Structure 1
Amino acid sequence: MADEALLAFPADHPAFPGHFPGDPIVPGALLLDEVLAVVCAARGLAYESLRVGSAKFLHPVRPGQEVQLRWRDSGPGLLDVRLFLADRPVAVATLSSHAAPP
């Protein structure tokens, strides 16, 4: 099963003044937090049931940019996650889940 969603981070998000002043980017932790929330909601999972196995950030995401999130099953309890700006990859991650839905 493959799924998609759009993520956006408004320019007034409280993470931007500290990350980085004068040249803000979306923190990797914020990207991953949003990925977990969206995937959990789509799959009917508890937030705590997913774990990030690995993550690599390839290109910065700026405030106000819309990010395309795509994920697919890649094995029992595993999800392959990819984030894009237009067609440019910005991050890849592997998520794992072994918990029952809430």
Structure 2
Amino acid sequence: MPHQTDIGFPVDHPTAAGHFPGNPVIPGAVLLDTALSAIAAAEGRRPGPCLLRSAKFLHPVRPGDRMQVEWQATAAGGIAFTGSVAGRPVMTASVAMESVTS
């Protein structure tokens, strides 16, 4: 069963000024990082190392948008998640959780 959380991107998000002037979008790397941080927080964990298996960006996310993130564990122990804005899918991704050795 998927879990859900919402992420808001402020109108004055710092990446908006340069990505792209006159047509601002939230960069894909920011979407991934923010989604993974929100997933970790919702599960009561700290974000940790992971390996990006796949990512597709389907539609732009703009400053001021709210993105709903749904995720679930994969059979291999990773996480698959999607993001949508106003019901429209904007990204899909899958990560494998890496073990940390000292």
TM-score, scaled relative to structure 2: 0.87
Partner of residue 99, structure 1: 99
1:17 aligns with 2:17: yes
Q: How far apart in 2 are the matches of 1:19 and 1:96?
A: 28
Task: In structure 2, list runs of 5 or more residues that go unmatched.
Answer: none
Aligned length: 100
Q: List, as ranges, runs of 4+ consecutive aligned residues in structure 1 with deviation greater than 6 Å.
A: none
- Give the AA of the match of 2:32: L
CA deviation profile, 1:65-84 (whole Å, cap 9, x unmatched): 11110001121312110011
Q: Name the Cα RMSD after superposition.
A: 1.6
TM-score, scaled relative to structure 1: 0.87
Task: In structure 1, list runs of 5 or more residues that go unmatched.
Answer: none
Q: State the Cα distance separating 1:43 from its structure 2 match.
A: 2.7
Q: Percent identity?
A: 41
**Greater per-residue helix proportion:** 1
Q: How far apart in 2 are the matches of 1:87 and 1:9?
A: 16
- Give the AA of the match of 1:74: T
